[in-house]
Structure 1
Amino acid sequence: MAFVEQFIRFTSDASGLERTFRMIQSLLLVITSSPFLLEVAASYMGGTSGYGDALTKLDKEHVLTTTVVLIGARDRVNMWRRFFRVFRFVESFHVASKLMGSLMGPNNGARSATKAKNEKNAKNAKKARFQLRPEWIELFARMFGGMYLFLESLTVIDAMGVTGLAVWGPERARALNVEGQRYWFLSLGCSVLAAVVRMLRVAKDMPPPVPTEEEKHENMGSPLAEAADEDGGDEQVKSAKLEAERLRLRRIVKGRMQVRRVWIRKLQARLVVLGRRAFADFIDMLAPGSIVGWTPADGKTVGVSMALTTLLTGYDVWLRCGRELAEAKAKAQAEAEAVEEDGKAAESKKTEEN
């Protein structure tokens, strides 16, 4: 039941629905790029007498018709996906402007000067703003991605293929789409580099937790120190205090090891997320690279890479939908319990009044 609810939320979410269409498009791209798969699809869609050399002239015509149908379906699904991204360029440029403000703002230099040991004056703090940081790379990734989405939005009317309805014309729309693919390639490259830099800096960005003042206070006071302040003393008492000191140290070490294990698990989870994102963006570079001629790859390779990256990125959306569903259930349960408590309180008050 939980799986069905999460699936409903995934397919109702804009990102989840777009990932679903992307998977369908990638499968259609693989089929239309493979002659054997086209023959198999033709046999299921209309029936053929064989495969390969056994195909008759009528069968070949049927395979050709099936190819046209599947290519049309693939392009139509791609068009559906483009409608989800019509105004996404606004989000990309907005995030880029916020990153620029945080990186170039006056407070950023002061924070960098406080954190770095070698930055002792305003001049060094100003230089620190231009260090190689993942935020700078992410800024360029957002800017390039915004340009890609903007050019794609400009040609969405031409891509609809409505007769007599065009803004740029076939040649110029095709040129704008190619330019958009270049920006997409650069955006993905910057995203990969930013993820790699974050992976190298993950221990610095997520430092180990520092013991709180309460924990420090609990671990203060050694039985051995108290025994040293005493004059003489029974050996049995000293032995008991020595055992108490051992237990105290063991408790401290155990607590710190537990905290460190939790910290290591968080680091590993963060590395998995960053690594999955970097790998997906790197594989995704095949799609725009094949269009502009920077990465030689055929349609079948691009389709397989699209299916793989759709699974990787769609899994993140799936997990997010699961978290949102769990939070919604917890909130609803808390509200129901609050209403029940209010009802009991009102009933109790009414009973007391009677």
Structure 2
Amino acid sequence: MGGFCRDVLGFGSILLGFGWILLGLCEIRVDFVGICWDLGGFCWDLGAFCWDWVGFGCILLGSGWDFVGIGVGFRRDRGGFCWPLCGPWSRRQAVALGRRGLLELVARGLRDLHYDSLVLPRDLRRRGVTHTRCYHFADDARRIWAAIRRFVGGVVGLYYPCDAAVRGDAELQAWVREIFHRGFLGRRRSGVPSRLRTIPRLVTFLTMVIYSCSAHHAAVNSGQFELGAFMPNLPAAMREPPPQTKEPLTEGQFLAALPAMNTTATVLGVLWVLRNEPFDMRPLGCYPERHFTEGAPRRLMREFRRRLAAISRRVRRRNAQLPRPYPYLDPPNIENSVAI
């Protein structure tokens, strides 16, 4: 039943390479907004500006599948592959690092990437934010992770009655080895399994892939335009070198470092395309292709959708009371899988 895994992994085009670029590098995406206003004028921490510039490269790179040829889980046999609108031309025009610089950035991120950062509960514990109040991403993501895991556990239980069945599925083990060797370059230090021996580990692995390519992608991708529309939050280039001291800069020095207007316009166009939903958007839990026709898995799908609907009602009640809502992990806003 190894073929079952490819069906349950989002029922569409899944590119795990996109997941590790996006998750492994973009933790800096909103932590370095370095504008400081004071009564005496305009102060700018250009060092923080540099980090925002790097963060933009990570996000834009994550959007380009043609950039790193390590896709290991997407369904060639089912179609659904969309060529990215923000292709190499856009990156060359908008990102000062260029192709070689971005590849080097990805390589550095991959060297530091660990499996625990892809498994949500472990990642929250690792970053010490498990009990952080008003952390809407963590609150919503935990509920979605739990719903996905329960769904995956139910479907896995239908086809793998015991751990021996997992170990004995040659197709499943070959698929996991391919992800380990092609997606993570066979790095043992990454903690990514090259073989799955138990049902709980299989459930965790499948949950991680589905979550990474749906909910976590939505959390990073959907807010790009809102964050980057004010260009200093997410600059695509710098026209001055990073400062060597922490002395405040003048407004003129700050303006001289900002990207040119045509570069900014290109970036905004790309971000606008990336954050817009496709016309044929399929939200998480929506599976129009009938890969499973038996009664038991279809019952699990209906239960999964009911749990997602309950999460959505909770998210919307909370957002109605917030001055700045956090809608990105509302299940109807989460695509079933990465699609650009």
Name the TM-score, length of structure 2 as normaliser. Answer: 0.27
Give the number of the structure whose alpha-carbon radius of gyration is greater. Answer: 1
Asked which structure has the greater RCO (Cα within 8 Å, sep 6+), the reply is 2
Q: Which has the higher helix share?
A: 1
